[in-house]
């Protein structure tokens, strides 16, 4: 084991059995295979989709696996229990009570940053509670692009978080809005994601029109440009043909048609404005636009994550988020904090995590 890894692993509960790892669909930390000579080989990076067959090869005989754990297991389990409680809630009152608990749970890490937690906690939370796809279909999606898949999982749970904050508590709606991001680019997935299309998606995300323009004027890219322009409509249609069974509502699937529209009307294919979009549509579009196609997860990256997203809106020239979403978040979390504080006058001023704030600005 190298000195760096020894230091990294010092004092952590590092051994993980195949059985424990198999409980996860996304790696809860970096996973290493311990070779006979004691050296470590990294098999998975935190957030990677866990291919069970691949991992099985490293668990026979005396071979063992080590995990550099990123997740906060106790915190994560509390979140799972709250959301499962909401799913089982028989009355509006029961679900509303779970909603209040969930907002408090989020507040501890992702708004106030008073507790430790990471984005991988959110990703695993979403997967444990809402993931609807069978293994075979999931593996088909992963084979297109693993980074897309993990990004989709983060988008899915962020959709749920935003929706719950906005007052949506219907179980079927929350399931659908979690699972939709995995299929927003489904039309492009069917033929495999060409590198140029992924590059165009990231360019388009950063600045509306750039991805389309780049494909249009790059010599022989016209076919890809057309595919790119048509993919919101074609993906929605193909999802209804191929995988309708994973969704409760065809109306929800139609959100895919609008995932590249923008608040300022500069999106595609229709170029519609925020005033022509429902709350749910603005939520779906905003999350799709806010999350980079290149993600890296580190310990503690969840602290104040939601607060920083809202703060980043102030400097957001691309108008990623609807003002409607912003006001809902500020009201809910600031009120929640105020209620807990016995003397509201002594409330701390809002402090932003500089590093994460910068990161968010870069990814926006």
Nearer to Fe ion, 9 or 190 (CB): 190
What is the CA angle 213-216-221, rounded to 5?
135
Q: What are phi and psi of 264, to 5 degrees?
A: -95, 10
Least distance from C-beta 297 to Fe ion, angstroms? Answer: 22
Nearer to Fe ion, 93 or 294 (CB): 294
Query: Which residue's Cβ has the minimum distance to Fe ion?
Result: 185
- The SS3 assignment for 168 reads coil
Question: Whats the size of the chain, residue-wise?
Answer: 364
Nearer to Fe ion, 147 or 330 (CB): 147
Q: Parallel, antiparallel, or unpaired for β 15-16 and 40-44?
A: unpaired
- Residue 192's region, left for phi above 0, alpha for psi from -120 to 50, else beta, is left
Closest CA to 98 of 111, 109, 85, 88: 85
252 Cβ contact partners less than 8 Å away, ≥ 6 residues apart: 173, 176, 177, 180
- Report how far residue 71's alpha carbon sits from residue 31's, in angstroms, rounded to the nearest whole number: 13
Closest CA to 261 of 281, 234, 279, 238: 281
Least distance from C-beta 180 to Fe ion, angstroms? Answer: 12
Least distance from C-beta 204 to Fe ion, angstroms? Answer: 8
297 Cβ contact partners less than 8 Å away, ≥ 6 residues apart: 46, 47, 70, 118, 119, 120
Least distance from C-beta 296 to Fe ion, angstroms? Answer: 22
Nearer to Fe ion, 185 or 257 (CB): 185
Least distance from C-beta 155 to Fe ion, angstroms? Answer: 11
Nearer to Fe ion, 68 or 185 (CB): 185
DSSP state of 257: G
Nearer to Fe ion, 182 or 333 (CB): 182
Binding site for Fe ion (CB under 5 A): 185
Least distance from C-beta 103 to Fe ion, angstroms? Answer: 30
């Amino acid at each position: 084991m190298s000195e760096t890894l020894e230091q990294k692993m010092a004092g952590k509960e590092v051994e993980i059995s195949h059985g424990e790892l198999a409980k996860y669909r996304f790696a809860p930390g970096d996973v290493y295979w311990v070779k006979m000579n004691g050296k470590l080989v990294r098999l998975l990076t935190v957030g990677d989709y866990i291919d069970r067959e691949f991992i099985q090869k490293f668990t026979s005989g005396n071979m063992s696996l080590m995990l550099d754990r990123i997740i906060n297991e106790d915190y994560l389990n509390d979140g799972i229990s709250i959301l499962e409680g909401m799913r089982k809630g028989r009355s509006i009152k029961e679900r509303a009570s779970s909603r209040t608990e969930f907002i408090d749970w989020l507040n501890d890490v992702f708004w106030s940053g008073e507790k430790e937690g990471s984005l991988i906690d959110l990703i695993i939370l979403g997967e444990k509670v809402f993931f609807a796809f069978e293994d075979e279909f999931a593996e088909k999606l992963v084979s297109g692009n693993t980074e897309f898949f993990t990004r989709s999982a983060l988008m899915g749970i962020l959709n749920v978080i935003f929706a719950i904050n906005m007052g949506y508590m219907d179980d079927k709606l929350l399931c659908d809005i979690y699972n939709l991001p995995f299929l927003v680019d489904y039309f492009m997935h069917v033929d495999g994601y060409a590198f140029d299309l992924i590059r165009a998606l990231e360019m388009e995300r950063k600045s509306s029109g750039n991805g389309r323009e780049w494909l249009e004027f790059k010599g022989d890219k016209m076919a890809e440009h057309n595919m790119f322009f048509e993919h919101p409509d074609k993906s929605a249609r193909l999802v209804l043909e191929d995988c309708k069974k994973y969704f409760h509502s065809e109306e929800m699937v139609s959100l895919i048609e609008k995932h590249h529209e923008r608040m300022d009307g500069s999106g595609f294919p229709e170029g519609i404005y925020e005033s022509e979009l429902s709350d749910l549509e603005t939520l779906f579009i905003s999350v799709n636009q806010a999350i980079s196609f290149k993600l890296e997860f580190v310990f503690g990256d969840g602290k104040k994550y939601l607060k920083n997203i809202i703060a980043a809106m102030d400097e957001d020239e691309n108008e990623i988020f609807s003002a409607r979403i912003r006001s809902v978040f500020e009201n809910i979390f600031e009120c929640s904090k105020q209620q807990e504080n016995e003397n509201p006058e002594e409330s701390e001023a809002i402090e932003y995590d500089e590093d994460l704030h910068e990161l968010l600005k870069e990814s926006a």
